[in-house]
Amino acid sequence: SLLREPYVGIANGLAYTEVGGEMLAVECIAMPGTGKLTLTGHLGDVMKESGQAALSWVRAHSDEFQLDKEFHQKQDIHIHVPEGAVPKDGPSAGITMATALVSALTGIPVRPDVAMTGEITLGGRVLPIGGVKEKMLAAYRSDIKTLILPRENKKDVEEIPQHIQEKFDIQYVDRIGQVIDLALLRS
């Protein structure tokens, strides 16, 4: 389910599960509708709230992406995290959901060589997350070249073996705008 080529509305995320770190694709589509937000993929409450926070942030910043100010009233949004049989929860997919959402609404594809993890706030801050080592190991086993991580997790990365760190261009961020700039394939 990992994104291998540029695709609109799909972003690579990193998850921490009971079996270790995993890559996960977050998919988003927008379609004509009345403003309904649907979140699927066996998501827990905290992960669903991350999707709601991501949508609220995008709505508040619609001008930055040249979106119709009322897009949320004219379109339904569906965010799905595949492998629906596997329960998923936690706040760390927030920036991945926001990235997939901006991509879906603007038509700008997401870079397939980028993976990310981080909690998003309504103000657009990117907060630290847990399971950094496990998440980096999952990315290490894939074709990911760039990792987008919360700046406050830099101390966790410094504890990871150098040969793993060196595989990646690690970008530390504080704001969701930085994530969008790094992750979207702008021509």
What residues act catalytically? 92, 135
Residue 13 amino acid letter: G
* Sign of CA pseudo-dihedral 172, 175, 177, 180: positive
Question: Which residues lie closer than 8 Å to 108 by C-beta, 6 or more apart?
Answer: 8, 102, 184, 185, 186
Q: Which two tokens stand for residue 90?
A: 């936690």
> What are the residues facing 37 on neighbouring strands?
77
CB 154 within 8 A of CB 50: no
